[in-house]
Amino acid sequence: MEFWVVKTIITREELPFLLLNISESCPECFYYYQDLEGSARKYYIKTIG
């Protein structure tokens, strides 16, 4: 059985859009997400739009 694992960091604002797209494109897939309060490294989040 072949499967893909995708890991990404997104903002809370992007989460609903991502979950909607996942469920529309692959209704039988398994996913989970975890709310992070911080990161050990600095990174820049580009504004949406």
- In three-state form (DSSP H/G/I as H, E/B as E, the rest C), the secondary structure along 1-43 is CCCCCCCCCCCCCCHHHHHHHHHHHCCCCCCCCCCCCCCCCCC
pLDDT of 21 reads 92
Cα(14)–Cα(20) distance, integer angstroms: 10
Cα(27)–Cα(47) distance, integer angstroms: 29
pLDDT one-digit tens code per residue, 1-49: 888 888 888 888 899 999 999 999 988 888 888 887 776 677 676 776 6
Main-chain dihedrals φ then ψ at residue 19, nearest 5 degrees: -65, -40
